[in-house]
């Protein structure tokens, strides 16, 4: 059979493959264990931490979508990241981008500094000289996130993979922001793809999950062994939900992307927007690379509000459709303030280095009618204009900001609260 398109692979995930009753939609195997065929003769499955038919269907589909030899479905995106790090020893160096997802940054820095699990080099891939910085440390693994969270910076995956192969380093790409519909890192030379399947892959904000897709069977087998050993494999129910969401991945992401293009056009003309971050804009520094390595610019965008940060509560509370919440990639439009939410685990200095300013706002654009989305944003901008005209309720807003900052500080300083975002 010729190679199938992503839309077909996703829509047919597990369809008409039920060996028991020919069910069109595959059943959910909630069992934790499986009967042996006879003493010392296990069947195909023996225990669901190791293998489960529902989870296997999801893994096979994701491996096919990313063009990999093997996929391992995990309980969360973070457990997928943790799993990939099992390939490192304390003498190895991991290179990470300075502007990755805050939770990944927290994992990398804490494992390196507090556990000495590996050595760490934080690199700005947008700055001249990244090649020599990386070559100097001879890393075992280079981690990429492109487009990056939350500034949508683009890294040239082919260029990094070419350097990595000369250094015999592995390249891991977090493809959460695009999904295999819009970018396939393994085809660009990467060794492992990571997803928080919580996001576009599932697409309905009703589970958390992750996956690692490996280019080679050998890497896949090693990481699958670690997944069972550590117990980080995904739950069967979550796999079932993710399979259901995955079937509409292609049409969802196309519509979300179309809506985003319109929202971005609106934002670029909005006087209360200081800067819009979207790789689809011709003046975005990564535009040409994004056009070369992606098949679309995606459905995430960010912008700096051109107003005092004290007015952020006015903006957020005026919204009726965009929901102020963590996460992204669901069919519903979400809005977030990276500095105090998704990237709160980065300290102020790291946020500054990553370019995350106090009035940066990130949008995950959904499938709602785009005119309604624009109207919603417009009336929130109007509310800010009005507050500026009236001098703003400075006392209230700065009090709520102070409370928020204390809350963030607690999560940064207390590593025991590490499950936060
Ligand atoms: C780019 C990226 N990678 C990884 C993760 C972690 O995924 P999860 O929240 O499913 O553990 C996230 C979560 O927001 C993310 O945005």
Range(s) of the domain holding residue 322: 250-417
Q: Quote the ligand 1 centre to 399 CA distance (angstroms).
A: 30
Which residues lie with the beta carbon below 6 Å from any ligand 1 atom? 76-78, 101, 103-104, 145, 149, 174, 176, 196, 198, 208, 210
pLDDT of residue 417: 36
- Tens of pLDDT, residues 368-415: 999 999 999 999 999 999 999 998 655 445 544 555 555 455 444 443
- Tens of pLDDT, residues 235-265: 999 999 999 999 999 999 999 999 999 999 9
Q: Quote the ligand 1 centre to 6 CA distance (angstroms).
A: 22
Partners of 172 in beta bridges: 143, 192
Please report, for the domain that includes residue 255, its CATH number.
Answer: 3.90.1150.10
Last residue of a domain, one of 196, 231, 246: 246
Please report, for the domain that includes residue 222, its CATH number.
Answer: 3.40.640.10
Q: Is 199 one of the catalytic residues?
A: yes
Is residue 168 in a domain? yes
Q: Pick from 91, 66, 70: which is nearest to 3 by CA?
A: 66
Cβ neighbour number for residue 358 with a 10 Å cutoff: 17
List the catalytic residue out of 17, 49, 262, 275.
49
Q: What percent of the chain has pLDDT over 90?
A: 87
143, 102: one domain: yes
231, 278: one domain: no
Q: Which whole-number Å values give the CA distances from 148 to 39, 70, 82, 126, in the listed order?
A: 52, 25, 19, 11
Q: Quote the ligand 1 centre to 294 CA distance (angstroms).
A: 20
200, 328: one domain: no
Give the residue, 410 or 196, on which the prediction is more confident.
196
- Tens of pLDDT, residues 75-122: 999 999 999 999 999 999 999 999 899 899 999 999 999 999 999 999
Among protein residues, the one whose CA lies closest to atom 10 of ligand 1: 77
pLDDT of residue 406: 52
231, 376: one domain: no
Pocket test for ligand 1, best of 82, 105, 145, 149 (most atoms within 8 A of CB): 149
Is residue 196 in a domain? yes
225, 257: one domain: no
Last residue of a domain, one of 246, 276, 301: 246
269, 241: one domain: no
Per-residue pLDDT band for 1 (boundaries 50, 70, 90) equals: low
Mean pLDDT value across residues 284-306? 98
User: Which atom of ligand 1 is closest in space to residue 145's alpha carbon?
Assistant: 1
Question: Residue 324: phi, psi to the nearest 5?
Answer: -75, 105
Is residue 148 in a domain? yes
Q: Determine contact, residues 380/344, Cβ cutoff 8 Å.
A: no
359, 274: one domain: yes
Q: Is this structure's pTM higher than 0.85?
A: yes
pLDDT at 32 over 70: yes
Is residue 1 in a domain? no
Mean pLDDT taken over the chain: 93
Is residue 193 in a domain? yes
Question: Residue 94: phi, psi to the nearest 5?
Answer: -105, 130
User: Which atom of ligand 1 is closest in space to residue 209's alpha carbon?
Assistant: 10
pLDDT of residue 345: 78
pLDDT at 171 over 60: yes
Last residue of a domain, one of 246, 266, 298: 246
126, 198: one domain: yes
Q: Determine contact, residues 92/137, Cβ cutoff 8 Å.
A: no
Cβ neighbour number for residue 30 with a 10 Å cutoff: 12
Among protein residues, the one whose CA lies closest to atom 12 of ligand 1: 196
Domain count, the chain: 2
Is residue 66 in a domain? yes
385, 316: one domain: yes
User: Which atom of ligand 1 is closest in space to residue 327's alpha carbon?
Assistant: 14
- Tens of pLDDT, residues 209-222: 999 999 999 999 99
Pocket test for ligand 1, best of 100, 176, 195 (most atoms within 8 A of CB): 176
256, 242: one domain: no
233, 257: one domain: no
117, 237: one domain: yes
């Amino acid at each position: 059979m010729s190679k199938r398109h992503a839309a077909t692979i996703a829509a047919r995930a597990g369809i008409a493959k039920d060996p028991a009753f020919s069910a069109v939609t595959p059943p959910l195997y909630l069992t934790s264990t499986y009967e042996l065929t006879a003493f010392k003769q296990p069947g195909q499955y023996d225990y669901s931490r190791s293998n489960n038919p529902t989870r296997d269907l999801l893994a096979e589909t994701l491996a096919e979508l990313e063009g990999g030899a093997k996929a391992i479905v995990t309980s969360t995106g973070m457990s997928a990241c943790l799993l990939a790090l099992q390939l490192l020893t304390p003498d190895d160096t991991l290179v990470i981008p300075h502007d990755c997802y805050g939770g990944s940054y927290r994992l990398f820095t804490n494992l390196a500094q507090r556990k000495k699990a590996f050595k760490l080099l934080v690199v700005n891939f947008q700055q001249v000289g990244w090649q020599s910085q990386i070559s100097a440390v001879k890393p075992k693994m280079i981690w990429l996130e492109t487009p990056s969270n939350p500034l949508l910076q683009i890294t040239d995956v082919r260029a990094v993979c070419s350097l990595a192969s000369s250094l015999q380093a592995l390249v891991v790409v977090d493809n959460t922001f695009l999904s295999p519909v819009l970018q396939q890192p393994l085809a660009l030379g990467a060794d492992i793809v990571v997803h928080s399947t919580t996001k576009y892959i599932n697409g309905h904000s009703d589970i958390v999950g992750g996956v690692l897709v490996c280019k080679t069977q050998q890497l896949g087998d090693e990481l699958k062994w670690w997944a069972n050993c550590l117990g980080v494999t995904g739950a069967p129910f979550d796999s079932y939900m993710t399979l259901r969401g995955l079937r509409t991945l292609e049409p969802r992401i196309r519509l979300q992307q179309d809506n985003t293009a319109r929202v971005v056009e609106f934002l670029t003309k909005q006087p209360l927007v200081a800067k819009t971050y979207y790789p689809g804009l011709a003046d975005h520094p990564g535009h040409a690379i994004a056009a070369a390595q992606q098949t679309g610019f995606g459905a995430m965008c960010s912008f700096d509000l051109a107003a005092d940060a004290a007015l952020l509560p006015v903006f957020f509370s005026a919204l009726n459709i965009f929901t102020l919440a963590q996460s992204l990639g669901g069919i519903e439009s979400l809005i977030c303030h990276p500095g105090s939410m998704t990237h709160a685990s980065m300290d102020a200095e790291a946020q500054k280095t990553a370019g995350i300013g106090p009035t940066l706002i990130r949008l995950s654009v959904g499938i709602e009618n785009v005119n309604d989305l624009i109207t919603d944003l417009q009336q929130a901008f109007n509310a800010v204009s009005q507050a500026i005209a009236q001098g703003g309720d400075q006392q209230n807003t700065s009090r709520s900001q102070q409370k928020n900052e204390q809350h963030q500080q607690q999560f940064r300083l207390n590593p025991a609260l590490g499950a936060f975002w």
